[in-house]
Structure 1
Amino acid sequence: MLYVSTRGKTDLFSAAHAITRGLAADGGLFVPQNIPAMRMVDIKAMERKPYTERAVDVLLQYLTDFSEDELRECVNAAYAPEKFGDNPVPLVQVNDNTGVLELWHGPTSAFKDMALQLLPHLLTRSMQKTGETNKVVILVATSGDTGKAALEGFADVPGTQIIVFYPSEGVSDIQKQQMITQAGKNVKVFGIEGNFDDAQRGVKEIFGNTALSDELEKKGYTFSSANSINWGRLVPQIVYYFSAYVDAVKAGKIAAGDPINFVVPTGNFGDILAGYYAKLMGLPIDRLLCASNSNNVLTDFINTGVYDRRREFFKTVSPSMDILVSSNLERLLYSVTEHDAARVADYMKRLNTEGHYEIDSDDLKQIQSQFFGAWVDELETKEAIGRIYNDYHYLMDTHTAVAWRAMEKYRFLTSDETYTVVLSTASPYKFADSVLAALDDAQPQSSNPFELLQKLHADTGTEIPPRMLALENLPVLHSEVIPADKMELAVVKNLV
Structure 2
Amino acid sequence: MEVIKYKSTRGGQKSVSASQAILKGLADDGGLFMPEKFPKFDFKFKELMWKGYKEVAYEVMKLLLCDYTEEELKDCIDKAYDDKFDTKEIAPLVKADGVYFLELFHGDTIAFKDMALSILPHLLTTAAKKNGIKNKIVILTATSGDTGKAAMSGFCDVEGTGIIVFYPKDGVSHVQRLQMVTQKGDNTDVVAIHGNFDDAQSGVKKIFADKDFAKKLDENGIQLSSANSINIGRLVPQIAYYVYAYLKLLDNGDVEDGEKINVCVPTGNFGNILAAYIAKQMGLPVNKLICASNENKVLFDFFENGVYDRNRKFILTSSPSMDILISSNLERLIYLSCGSDGEYVKKLMKELATDGKYTVTPAMKDFMKDFVGGYADEGQNFAGIKSLYDSTGYIIDTHTGVAFSVYQHYKDVTKDMTSTVIASTASPYKFADSVLEAILGKKQKMGDFEVIDKLHEIGAPDIPRAILEIKDAPVRHTRECDSADMQKEVEDILFNNRR
* TM-score range for the pair, normalised by the shorter chain length: over 0.9
Give, in angstroms, the shift of residue 45 of structure 1. 1.5
What are the within-5 Å matches in structure 2 for residues 441-480 of structure 1?
Answer: 441-446=441-446, 448-480=447-479
Question: 1:6 is matched with which residue?
Answer: 9
**Are positions 1:307 and 2:304 aligned together?**
no
- Out of 95, 108, 116, the position equivalent to 1:93 is 95
Give, in angstroms, the shift of residue 84 of structure 1. 4.1
Contact 1:139–1:224 (CA under 8 A) maintained in structure 2: yes
What are the within-5 Å matches in structure 2 for residues 291-302 of structure 1?
Answer: 291-302=292-303
- Counterpart of 1:72 in structure 2: which amino acid? K
Instruction: Determine helix, strand or coil for the equivalent of 1:473.
Output: coil
- Counterpart of 1:166 in structure 2: which amino acid? Y
What are the within-5 Å matches in structure 2 for residues 417-432 of structure 1?
Answer: 417-432=417-432
Distance between the aligned counterparts of 1:85 and 1:435, measured in 2? Answer: 23
Give, in angstroms, the shift of residue 71 of structure 1. 1.0
Could you state the TM-score of these two structures normalised by the residue count of structure 1?
Answer: 0.98
Give, in angstroms, the shift of residue 451 of structure 1. 1.5
Give, in angstroms, the shift of residue 85 of structure 1. 2.6
Instruction: Determine helix, strand or coil for the equivalent of 1:48.
Output: coil
- Counterpart of 2:224 in structure 1: which amino acid? F
Give, in angstroms, the shift of residue 396 of structure 1. 0.2
- Out of 26, 33, 36, the position equivalent to 1:23 is 26
Describe the superposition over 1:208-265 as per-residue Cα deviations: whole angstroms up to 9, x where unpaired. Answer: 1111011111111101000000000110000001000111111111101001000000
- Counterpart of 1:441 in structure 2: which amino acid? G
Give, in angstroms, the shift of residue 488 of structure 1. 0.3
What are the within-5 Å matches in structure 2 for residues 309-458 of structure 1?
Answer: 309-367=310-368, 369-446=369-446, 448-458=447-457
Cα distance change on mapping 1:299 and 1:431 into 2, 3 Å: same
What are the within-5 Å matches in structure 2 for residues 260-299 of structure 1?
Answer: 260-299=261-300
Distance between the aligned counterparts of 1:321 and 1:467, measured in 2? Answer: 22
Instruction: Determine helix, strand or coil for the equivalent of 1:362.
Output: helix
Give, in angstroms, the shift of residue 94 of structure 1. 1.0
Runs (5+) with no aligned partner, structure 2: none
Give, in angstroms, the shift of residue 48 of structure 1. 1.9
Distance between the aligned counterparts of 1:220 and 1:5, measured in 2? Answer: 25
Instruction: Determine helix, strand or coil for the equivalent of 1:477.
Output: coil
Contact 1:450–1:469 (CA under 8 A) maintained in structure 2: no
Question: 2:484 is matched with which residue?
Answer: 485
- Counterpart of 1:391 in structure 2: which amino acid? S
**Are positions 1:225 and 2:226 aligned together?**
yes
Give, in angstroms, the shift of residue 81 of structure 1. 3.0
Give, in angstroms, the shift of residue 42 of structure 1. 2.3
Contact 1:140–1:164 (CA under 8 A) maintained in structure 2: yes
Instruction: Determine helix, strand or coil for the equivalent of 1:81.
Output: coil
Work out the percentage of aligned pairs sharing the same amino acid. 48
**Are positions 1:60 and 2:59 aligned together?**
no
Cα distance change on mapping 1:346 and 1:461 into 2, 3 Å: closer
Count of matched residue positions in the alignment of Structure 1 and Structure 2: 492
Distance between the aligned counterparts of 1:480 and 1:139, measured in 2? Answer: 15
Instruction: Determine helix, strand or coil for the equivalent of 1:394.
Output: coil
Give the aligned CA root-mean-square deviation in angstroms.
0.9
Describe the superposition over 1:95-120 as per-residue Cα deviations: whole angstroms up to 9, x where unpaired. Answer: 34x10000000010000000010000
- Counterpart of 2:478 in structure 1: which amino acid? S
Distance between the aligned counterparts of 1:468 and 1:73, measured in 2? Answer: 29
Runs (5+) with no aligned partner, structure 1: none
Instruction: Determine helix, strand or coil for the equivalent of 2:49.
Output: helix
Contact 1:9–1:26 (CA under 8 A) maintained in structure 2: yes
Describe the superposition over 1:255-276 as per-residue Cα deviations: whole angstroms up to 9, x where unpaired. Answer: 0100100000011000000001
Give, in angstroms, the shift of residue 462 of structure 1. 2.3
Distance between the aligned counterparts of 2:148 and 2:46, measured in 1? Answer: 35
**Are positions 1:495 and 2:497 aligned together?**
no
Instruction: Determine helix, strand or coil for the equivalent of 1:481.
Output: strand
What are the within-5 Å matches in structure 2 for residues 130-209 of structure 1?
Answer: 130-209=131-210
Which has a greater percent of helix? 1
Give, in angstroms, the shift of residue 399 of structure 1. 0.3
Instruction: Determine helix, strand or coil for the equivalent of 1:99.
Output: strand
- Counterpart of 2:8 in structure 1: which amino acid? S
Question: 1:44 is matched with which residue?
Answer: 46
Distance between the aligned counterparts of 2:63 and 2:15, measured in 1? Answer: 17
Give, in angstroms, the shift of residue 392 of structure 1. 1.1
Contact 1:228–1:234 (CA under 8 A) maintained in structure 2: yes
Distance between the aligned counterparts of 1:426 and 1:309, measured in 2? Answer: 26
Give, in angstroms, the shift of residue 83 of structure 1. 3.0
Instruction: Determine helix, strand or coil for the equivalent of 1:307.
Output: strand
Q: Which moved more, 1:80-89 or 1:187-196?
A: 80-89
Cα distance change on mapping 1:399 and 1:461 into 2, 3 Å: closer
Contact 2:182–2:470 (CA under 8 A) maintained in structure 1: yes
Contact 1:296–1:375 (CA under 8 A) maintained in structure 2: yes
Contact 1:399–1:426 (CA under 8 A) maintained in structure 2: yes
Give, in angstroms, the shift of residue 467 of structure 1. 2.1
Contact 2:50–2:251 (CA under 8 A) maintained in structure 1: no
Distance between the aligned counterparts of 1:53 and 1:109, measured in 2? Answer: 22
Give, in angstroms, the shift of residue 136 of structure 1. 0.6
Give, in angstroms, the shift of residue 461 of structure 1. 4.9
- Counterpart of 1:36 in structure 2: which amino acid? P
**Are positions 1:121 and 2:118 aligned together?**
no
Contact 1:109–1:427 (CA under 8 A) maintained in structure 2: yes
- Counterpart of 1:27 in structure 2: which amino acid? G
Q: Which moved more, 1:472-481 or 1:455-464?
A: 455-464
Give, in angstroms, the shift of residue 82 of structure 1. 4.2
Could you state the TM-score of these two structures normalised by the residue count of structure 2?
Answer: 0.97
